Amino acid sequence: MKHNEIERILLEKYKSIFNNQTSPEWAMKNKKTQECIYPSIPFIGKQYSTQDKRILVYASAENLTYYKNSNGDNELLESEIAWNRRRIGFESCNGDFFPFVHIQPIDNGGLLSLTYFIAIYNGWIRPDYNPYQFIECLAVDNIGKFSIDSDGRNVDYIQDKNKLLESYNYIEADIKTLKPNVIILPEKALMQPKIKEMIQVHCEGAIIIPIYQLTSTVINCHISKQISQTKYEEVEKLTPDNLKEWVEKIKIRGMKKSGMYLYFAHALDRYKNTKS
């Protein structure tokens, strides 16, 4: 199925779910309409459906607190294009090293680089792509489809079963339409029985890779204690020069460059465990 057709089907499904399901009271509102900000369909790469390994990557949830405290119009969130703001954001990229799809762990390069490492390690993809070429081979989104309307803090709800429940129908639409055979997602999301069951039913035989969220605290306080120096050095050697260039461009507050190789090593262990 072509990229545009997949987008069309998902847009229809998302709008139908939104119109037939009560929107969560806790979600960020469109300041113009006071209606819940539309959940965006995933970014769907133009080469996604042609890949032997159709990789769906989920980050956690969108942080839109900046919008609440901003002045002026924001067409990406306030108009009809909000339904597809991942692709619209990508098309408006202005020369940054990493593409912009309105998903922070993708925009800063961290989660995109991890996915590329896993794909290269398994021989699923060429090792000489730039970030823009590679993301066109993927589908990426947040697994939590709404942003919490908070007092300015970035509040994650990946462990909150009741809040994540609001996204289940959208997640089901994603996986039934995209038909991924590799899914990379937050470990805490996979701990939700409903999500795990949904993936098992609709993506039978798919490779599931649960990962920790990419923050300096997670790497410095947790992953660094689980990965040996030997494993770190092994993964650094496995990383092709092209991807090492990506790592040099990643900027995550409080994280050293070595943190990405620790993150790669931890995710690789998780991947190997899913195969054992």
pLDDT in tens, 208-265: 999 998 988 999 889 999 998 999 999 999 999 999 999 999 988 888 878 999 999 9
Residue 254 burial by Cβ neighbours in a 10 Å radius (0-12, 13-18, 19+): exposed
103-141 pLDDT, tens digit per residue, is: 999 999 999 999 999 999 999 999 999 999 999 999 999
Q: What DSSP assignment string belongs to 196-209?
A: HHHHHHHSTT-EEE
Model confidence at 4: pLDDT above 80 = yes
pLDDT at res. 71: 76
Give me the number of domains the chain comprises.
1
Neighbouring-strand partners of residue 44 = 139
pLDDT at res. 275: 64
pLDDT at res. 1: 81
Neighbouring-strand partners of residue 141 = 58
- Which residue range is the domain that position 106 belongs to? 3-275
Strand ranges in the chain using DSSP code E only, listed in sequence order: 43-44, 55-61, 138-144, 182-186, 207-211
Neighbouring-strand partners of residue 123 = none
> What's the CA gap between 164 and 61, in Å, rounded?
10
Model confidence at 274: pLDDT above 70 = yes
Mean pLDDT, residues 160-179 taken together? 94
pLDDT at res. 97: 96
Model confidence at 160: pLDDT above 90 = no
Confidence label for 267 from pLDDT (cuts 50, 70 and 90): very high
Tokens of 262: 């620790």
Maximum mean pLDDT: which of 55-59, 161-165, 213-217, 250-254 = 55-59
